[in-house]
């Protein structure tokens, strides 16, 4: 009894109409404009619906022009705890509007982004929330023009007319590197997955700004270690090998997210490198477990659930009559814990005089 009747095939409006002794359109009215139907008739129809085991056919409704009730989201990796929580925020906001969320992960591959975008378009989704890998926004702008609302996630709208929900990544990168500079680090490795994805590029930009502000030369201080995407198995081992092979060896590693920081912590531990005394490590996101790591992770906090919620909110708003596209900007915060400390040997090089 939990989900309609059992056993018998489920019927459509036609069967319901027959069972209730009314016409199809009355049934439709009960569904879409209940107030227009006599209470008694309505009751009879509703009874018939559960008797017949009626389930609305979304495809048919959509074909007739009803707005779809599924929304798509495309992120870099839904299994990353950061995105997982962002997505959860979306899901909950969408649930309020009786919408479902399709989750797609690109693993930072442009081709996968394209593929999912196409599939979502074919599904006729109500809209898409995208954290793009692809640099050019043309495809998304075009999609939007064709009537599929697009909300950018962690990507500024630039000159486009799209909605966007972002966190100030330039500021985040700056905060992180300021902290490391203040501790005395002069060789800092940024461990990232892409130098093209805007949010990540912005953090690098902020990092350089911080270095410049300190009167140093960004290229002398900042190194970039680029890892392969989430799918690669030994990505952290390779990244740490790379990190340790740099000369002079960096004294701090700034990871592009906390999950990566965990990977780096693990590989450093395996190699017997003490954190933070031999190597400071920073994360990014401040996920729940960051404070319980060994050592507790210094990181940059950014909102997650709230970010997804806001993105979904904007997306839903686009259905409304006249709606101005807008950009929302959240602010990150530096969270200092135990995984960073002054470098062992101060100065640019080991003092040799």
Residue 119 as a binder of DNA (CB under 7 A): the answer is: no
Task: Pick out residues in 42-81 that bind DNA (CB under 7 A).
Answer: 54, 56-57, 60-61, 63-66
Contacts made by residues 57-62, CB under 8 angstroms, sequence distance 24+? 57/12, 62/124
Structure tokens, 48 = 């018939």
21 burial type by CB count under 10 A (0-12 exposed, 13-18 middle, 19+ buried) = exposed
Give min distance, CB of 269 to a copy of itself, in A: 8
Give min distance, CB of 58 to DNA, in A: 8
3, 38, 245, 321: which one contacts a copy of itself (CB under 8 A)?
A: 3
Collect all residues with Cβ–Cβ distance below 8 Å to 15 and sequence separation of at least 6: 52, 54
CB atoms inside a 10 Å sphere around CB 266: 13
CB atoms inside a 10 Å sphere around CB 121: 14
32 contact, one of DNA, a copy of itself, none, CB 5-8 Å limit per kind: DNA
265 contact, one of a copy of itself, DNA, none, CB 5-8 Å limit per kind: a copy of itself
In whole angstroms, how far apart are CA 45 and each of 54, 66, 81, 84, 235? 11, 22, 46, 42, 60
Task: Pick out residues in 61-100 that bind a copy of itself (CB under 8 A).
Answer: 62-63, 68-70, 72, 77-81, 84-85, 87-88, 91-92, 98, 100
12 contact, one of a copy of itself, DNA, none, CB 5-8 Å limit per kind: DNA
Give min distance, CB of 50 to DNA, in A: 14
Interface size with a copy of itself, residues (CB under 8 A):
72
In whole angstroms, how far apart are CA 4 and each of 1, 55, 59? 6, 8, 20
| C-beta of 101 vs 314, nearer to a copy of itself | 101
- Residue that has been written with the tokens 């599904």 in this structure: 123
Give the number of C-alpha atoms closer than 13 A to the C-alpha of residue 353, restricted to the C-beta side.
Answer: 2
Helices (H), 124-168: 138-145
Task: Pick out residues in 241-280 that bind a copy of itself (CB under 8 A).
Answer: 259, 262-263, 265-266, 269
Residue 120 as a binder of DNA (CB under 7 A): the answer is: no
Give phi and psi for 208, each to the nearest 5: -65, -40
Task: Pick out residues in 8-47 that bind DNA (CB under 7 A).
Answer: 12-14, 21-29, 31-32, 36-38, 41
In whole angstroms, how far apart are CA 123 and each of 71, 126, 307? 10, 9, 25
Length of the chain: 353
Interface size with DNA, residues (CB under 7 A):
27
| C-beta of 14 vs 269, nearer to DNA | 14
Q: Which stretch binds a copy of itself (CB under 8 A): 60-68, 159-167, 189-197, 212-220?
A: 60-68
The beta strand positions in 64-167, using DSSP E, are 70-75, 100-105, 127-130, 150-153, 163-167
Give min distance, CB of 322 to a copy of itself, in A: 20
Per-residue binding string, a copy of itself, 133-162, x by CB under 8 A, is -x-x-xx--xx-xx----------------
Q: Which stretch binds a copy of itself (CB under 8 A): 35-43, 216-224, 287-295, 325-333?
A: 287-295
16, 27, 48, 104: which one contacts a copy of itself (CB under 8 A)?
A: 104
CB 99 within 8 A of CB 129: no
122, 219, 322, 349: which one contacts a copy of itself (CB under 8 A)?
A: 122
| C-beta of 69 vs 109, nearer to DNA | 69
Structure tokens, 192 = 């990232």
Bridge partners (DSSP) listed for residue 167: 330
| C-beta of 73 vs 200, nearer to a copy of itself | 73
Structure tokens, 157 = 């709208």
């Amino acid at each position: 009894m939990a989900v309609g009747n059992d056993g018998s095939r489920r019927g459509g409006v036609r069967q319901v109409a027959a069972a209730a002794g009314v016409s199809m359109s009355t049934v439709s009215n009960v569904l879409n404009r209940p107030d227009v139907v006599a209470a008694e008739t309505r009751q009879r129809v509703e009874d018939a619906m559960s008797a017949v085991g009626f389930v609305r056919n979304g495809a048919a409704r959509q074909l007739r022009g009803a707005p779809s009730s599924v929304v798509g989201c495309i992120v870099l990796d839904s299994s990353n705890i950061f995105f997982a929580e962002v997505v959860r925020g979306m899901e909950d906001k969408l649930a309020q509007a009786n919408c479902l969320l399709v989750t797609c992960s690109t693993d930072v591959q442009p081709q996968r982004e394209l593929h999912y975008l196409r599939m979502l378009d074919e599904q006729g989704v109500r809209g898409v929330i995208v954290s793009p890998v692809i640099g050019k926004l043309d495809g998304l702008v075009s999609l939007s023009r064709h009537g599929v609302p697009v909300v950018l996630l962690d990507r500024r709208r630039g000159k486009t007319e799209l909605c966007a929900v972002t966190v100030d990544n330039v500021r985040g990168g700056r905060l992180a590197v300021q902290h490391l500079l203040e501790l005395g680090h002069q060789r800092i490795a940024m461990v990232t997955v892409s130098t093209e994805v805007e949010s990540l590029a912005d953090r690098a930009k902020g990092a350089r700004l911080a270095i410049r502000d300190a009167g140093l030369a960004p290229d002398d201080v900042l190194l970039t270690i680029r890892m392969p995407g989430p799918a690669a198995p030994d990505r952290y081992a390779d990244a740490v090998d790379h990190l340790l092979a740099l000369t002079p060896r960096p004294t701090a590693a700034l990871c592009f997210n906390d999950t990566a920081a965990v990977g780096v912590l693990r590989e450093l531990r395996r190699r017997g490198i003490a954190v933070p005394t031999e190597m400071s490590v920073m994360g990014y996101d401040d996920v729940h477990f960051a404070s319980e790591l060994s050592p507790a992770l210094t990181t940059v906090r950014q909102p997650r659930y709230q970010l997804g919620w806001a993105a979904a909110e904007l997306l839903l708003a686009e259905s409304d009559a006249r709606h101005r596209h807008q950009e929302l900007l959240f602010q990150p915060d530096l969270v200092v814990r135990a995984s960073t400390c002054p470098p062992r040997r101060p100065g640019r090089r080991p003092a040799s005089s």
